[in-house]
Structure 1
Amino acid sequence: MAYPSPAFSSESRISEFPAIVLRAKRSSALEKLICALRDTGIPHNAFIDSMIGTSAENQQAATLAATPEQNKLICVALFGREEAIRPLIKSFSLYKESEVSRVAPTE
């Protein structure tokens, strides 16, 4: 689906399907998911806590040096057909909007 923005001279293409956010209690569950995604060839992006920092250069250096012992996976975005993805995510819980209220806002 097209999201044109003439004022910014751009047109983004975003799926008409909703994003579903799943949660895991431990980073290790996300690590296992990433291995399974890699093994099945499903496109994905992993986000590590080292990617949060004061500059892009610091984030890149920290991410290059990140290890499972020192860092945590905080999010995995995956892209593909439901029938390929569903078996890999069946052990995850759905992230509910009510859980957002438990997190204190940062300012």
Structure 2
Amino acid sequence: MYADNQSKFIAVLNPKIETSKLMNGLGHITAGIVAKCQQIDELQFLNYEFAANWASPAAIGLYPFIILSAKNNNQLKTLHQAANEANILHNAFTDSMLGASAAEQMQNTKNANPDDLIYFGIVLFGTADELTPLTRKFSLFKG
């Protein structure tokens, strides 16, 4: 068991999405959750230095990053709603966020009917006490 698990990142992904698109979405929502964090210090990034300073240090989070799998799109939609209601730091990626330009993607997302969205994934950050009730029904992502 990892010692530093007071808080954690949890990604819940849709295994029905093509892997390259899924990883693209995961990268975007992970970077985005860092941007959304009001107090970046609470994420606690550490500098891992390489021997003989041959490369700049890697910035790696102190807390675990767990990747889980949803059974279906509805589970992700429900998780998104629950994270909103619980005011948990989170970020989601949907099919409306694909397109020819960022402007098109933002417009598509704004105009999309929430019931029609196909979720690629959601990343959450919080304490184990906050996240466990929302994520306990998901299994580890197998890729």
> Under a length normalisation based on structure 1, what TM-score does the superposition of the two structures give?
0.72
Aligned partner of 1:87 in structure 2 is 133
List, as ranges, runs of 4+ consecutive aligned residues in structure 1 with deviation greater than 3 Å. 11-14
Mapped to 1, the partners of 2:124 and 2:59 lie a distance apart of 17
C-alpha displacement of 1:68: 3.4
Q: Does 1:25 align with 2:43?
A: no
C-alpha displacement of 1:91: 0.9
Unaligned runs of 5+ in 2: 1-45, 50-56
Mapped to 2, the partners of 1:91 and 1:42 lie a distance apart of 18
Residues 60 and 12 of structure 1, relative CA distance in 2, 3 Å threshold: farther
Unaligned runs of 5+ in 1: 5-10, 100-107
Match of 2:106 among 60, 66, 79: 60
Residues 37 and 53 of structure 1, relative CA distance in 2, 3 Å threshold: same
Percent identical residues: 37
Q: Does 1:2 align with 2:39?
A: no
Aligned partner of 1:42 in structure 2 is 88
Indicate the RMSD between aligned Cα atoms, in angstroms: 2.2
Mapped to 2, the partners of 1:53 and 1:2 lie a distance apart of 35
C-alpha displacement of 1:84: 1.2
Mapped to 2, the partners of 1:90 and 1:29 lie a distance apart of 12
C-alpha displacement of 1:16: 2.1
C-alpha displacement of 1:48: 0.8
Would you tell me which structure has more strand in proportion to its own residues?
2
Aligned partner of 2:61 in structure 1 is 15
Aligned length: 91
Aligned partner of 1:102 in structure 2 is none
Comparing both chains, which one has the higher relative contact order based on Cα–Cα distances under 8 Å and sequence gaps of 6 or more? 2
